[in-house]
Amino acid sequence: MRPSPRRLLAGGPRRTERVGEVPQPYLDEFIAVGGNPHGSGGFSEFSEFGLAGFVDRFFAMSQHRDRMTAQYAWAVPTEPVVRAIAGFARGAVCDLGCGTGYWAHLLEQVGATVTAVDLYPPAVELNHWHRRDVLGEGGCGVPHWTTVVAGDVATFEVPSSHALLLSWPPYDSRMADLALSRYRGDRVIYIGDRVIYIGEGPGGCTGDDAFHARLEAEWTEGVFHKIPQWRGIHDSVSFYVRKEAKP
């Protein structure tokens, strides 16, 4: 039986047969339902299963994605990518718009100091992204994986000593652009100083046009990391450093 987030937090990391790895229940479940940890989110199975088989698999995976994104996160992390983020961020990260705090939790497991912030932490009724009813349970929010601080990007001050992590910021909102415009550090991590971004590129499911324009104008993309992708999704992890100001 898979331990709950609260059990993992209370009891510490689980023992695994994979020596040196941190527990990764999301990745484990993703693989268990047929996700390819090394593959893309394309549609290569069409020729293998035919139209009917492909349609069945597509809708089955869509249901799995709905459940797992509600319980864990929009993007599927791997330990090498989590460790790369911690290293790039110099050990201090602000995960702004963190959802359940799953990525923040894994970063903590590899030794990073993380401030996890969300406008609506997962346990509150106003959180419509991570809900128990998607899991077939009653109630509003799902359990969080670490401490999640309630905060609005319009007022929350991200320490300049922390890298800014933006993982799947909404595409129909100013959230990501506002967060980036107010950030005074030099490192950004964007998962589709430093920004870390996890998500898709311009015109995709993450970040509005203003955000992508600001990212291109004021930041330089460095390392690019592939992550496991749900079918039809093309997200990745990108590291950004602030461009030097012109004299």
How do the domains of the chain map onto residue ranges? 38-242
Sign of CA dihedral 177, 181, 185, 187: positive
Closest among 76, 152, 86 to 113, alpha carbons compared:
86
What CATH number does domain 38-242 carry, 3.40.1350, 3.40.50, 3.30.1560, 3.90.1690? 3.40.50
Residue 33 tokens read as 């339902």
Q: Are 169 and 238 in contact (CB under 8 A)?
A: no
Cβ-contact 117, 95 below 8 angstroms: yes
Q: What is the pLDDT of residue 121?
A: 76
Question: pTM of the predicted model, to two decimals?
Answer: 0.81
Q: Phi, psi at residue 20, to the nearest 5°? A: 90, -5
* Mean pLDDT for back-to-back runs of 10 residues, the chain (247 residues): 35 36 93 83 54 69 89 94 96 94 97 93 60 52 85 90 92 87 91 59 67 91 90 88 70
Strand partners, 150: 118
CA distances from 189 to 15, 80, 244 (A): 29, 15, 18
Q: Are residues 190 and 166 in contact, defined by beta-carbon separation less than 8 angstroms? A: yes
Separation of alpha carbons 208 and 174, rounded Å:
7
Specify the pLDDT at position 36.
83
